[in-house]
């Protein structure tokens, strides 16, 4: 067996230890004589797994009884619609910080459902930075403020969250969830598709303040209702059992390996290796993000010519570095360095980048 260094943006690398555990217990989960994906979700075994995953996630985030964790389906994209369906009432406006393509999509879906307003829109600037609160224009009767903490395609993020005041703060954290310590209790709702830092595609985690659950309209179809999901402990219908099971294992792995503080430290070291080269040869490795808004998860850069970019991708892949090609809307390279990517992966890629510079600059 040989495993590559996986820089994919998502689905992405998962901890080897977790994959090995999944493999080892796949045919016979906890002496049940069947795999987890063959088992009813209405069993004490699955219910215990589901409840433990909720508790472990709240422990990692330091959240207490005033929050619920929902394991939903349909990707983060489904949340773009469910969020306003549940939390945007008539007479209110939802404010969106449009900081990237996914933020833009979230904003567009909210506009179909109710009154939504762009508090700030960085599209014209090419999404190169995280905005300040002082440049945002907020609505009266604000239902919530929606932010995207890490813009996966552009490789921008807030290095520290600014003070958003006592707003109902909602965040799409799909691409930097659990990657660094932060004050989770400042957020009223957080959602994240699992397939980057959490597990396989198939479940989307929604963390919601209990006090918001009453806002889900009574006439909302039940399958779309956060309140119904919470009342049923995410078991209103058949959940994505395999995805939740792997997420539960990743959460245990995170706890065992020092939680968010340890991840923040590791991710900082990995990112420094890659960004160090952008700072050293900025005319060659041309970073997309402004320095103060660099993402710790996705480093994006271009090279002087498209020919060199194609050569970089091809030689990187031949050397065992997978998934370094950038998103088509930015071009160039995107190096995704999620929690499970070992430090060694970034160190080896940094060496490759240094050699590539020396041969091609
Ligand atoms: N938001 C962000 C920040 C993302 O990176 C992505 C996917 N890459 C999405 C939303 C959409 O997620 P999904 O494909 O799970 O619907």
3-state SS, residue 333: strand
Q: Is 245 helix (H, G, I), strand (E, B) or coil?
A: helix
Ligand 1 lined by 174 (C-beta under 6 Å)? yes
Q: Tell whether ligand 1 has an atom less than 6 A from the beta carbon of residue 152.
A: yes
Residue nearest to atom 12 of ligand 1 (CA): 76
How far is the C-alpha of 27 from the C-alpha of 36, rounded, in Å?
Answer: 8
Hey, whose CA ends up nearest to atom 9 of ligand 1? Answer: 76
- Centre of ligand 1 to C-alpha 289, Å, is 19
How many residues are present in the chain? Answer: 361
Stretch 184-212: mean pLDDT: 98
- Note the pLDDT tens digit of each residue in 274-318: 999 999 999 999 999 999 999 999 999 999 999 999 999 999 999
Query: How far is it, in rounded angstroms, from Cα 90 to Cα 113?
Result: 10
Phi-psi region of 259 (alpha: psi -120 to 50; beta: other; left: phi over 0): left
pLDDT at residue number 333: 98
% pLDDT > 90, the chain = 99
Are the C-beta atoms of 63 and 190 separated by less than 8 Å?
no
Residue 175: CB within 6 Å of ligand 1? yes
What is this structure's pTM? Answer: 0.98
The finding on whether 75 has its CB within 6 A of some atom of ligand 1 is: yes
Q: Which residue's alpha carbon is at the smallest distance from atom 4 of ligand 1?
A: 174
CA distance 325 to 310: 9
Digit-coded pLDDT (tens) for 57-75: 999 999 999 999 999 999 9
Q: How far, CA to CA in Å, does 197 sit from each of 74, 125, 247, 330?
A: 17, 28, 9, 22
Q: Ligand 1, atom 3: nearest CA belongs to which residue?
A: 174
């Amino acid at each position: 067996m040989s495993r590559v260094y996986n820089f994919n943006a998502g689905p992405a690398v998962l901890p080897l230890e977790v994959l090995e555990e999944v493999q080892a217990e796949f045919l016979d989960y906890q002496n049940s004589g069947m795999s987890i994906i063959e088992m009813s979700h209405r069993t004490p075994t699955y219910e215990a797994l589901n409840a433990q995953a909720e508790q472990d996630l709240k422990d990692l985030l330091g959240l207490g009884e005033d929050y619920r964790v929902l394991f939903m389906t349909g990707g983060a994209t489904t949340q773009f619609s469910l969020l306003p369906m549940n939390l945007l009432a008539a007479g209110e406006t939802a404010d969106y910080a449009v900081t990237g393509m996914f933020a833009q999509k979230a904003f567009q879906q909210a506009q179909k459902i109710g009154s939504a307003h762009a508090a700030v829109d960085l599209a014209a600037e090419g999404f190169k930075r995280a905005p300040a609160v002082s440049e945002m224009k907020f609505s009266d009767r604000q239902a919530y403020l929606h932010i995207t903490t890490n813009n996966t395609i552009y490789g921008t993020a807030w290095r520290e969250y600014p003070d958003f005041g006592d707003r109902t703060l909602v965040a799409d954290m799909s691409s930097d969830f659990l990657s660094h310590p932060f004050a989770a209790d400042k957020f009223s709702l957080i959602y994240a598709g699992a397939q980057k830092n959490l597990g396989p595609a198939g479940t989307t985690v929604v963390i919601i303040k209990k006090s918001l659950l009453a806002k889900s309209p009574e006439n909302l179809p039940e399958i779309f209702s956060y309140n119904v999901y919470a009342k049923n402990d995410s078991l209103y219908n058949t959940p994505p059992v395999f995805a939740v099971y792997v997420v539960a294992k990743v959460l245990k792995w995170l706890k065992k390996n020092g939680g968010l503080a340890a991840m923040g430290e590791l991710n900082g070291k990995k990112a420094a290796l890659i960004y160090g080269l952008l700072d050293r040869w900025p005319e060659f490795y041309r970073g997309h993000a402004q320095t103060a808004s660099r993402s710790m998860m996705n480093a994006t850069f271009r090279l002087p010519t498209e020919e060199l970019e194609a050569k970089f991708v091809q030689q990187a892949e031949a050397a065992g570095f997978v998934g370094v090609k950038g998103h088509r809307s930015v071009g160039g390279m995107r190096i995704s360095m999620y929690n499970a990517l070992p430090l060694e992966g970034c160190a080896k890629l940094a060496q490759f980048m240094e050699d590539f510079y020396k041969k091609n600059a």
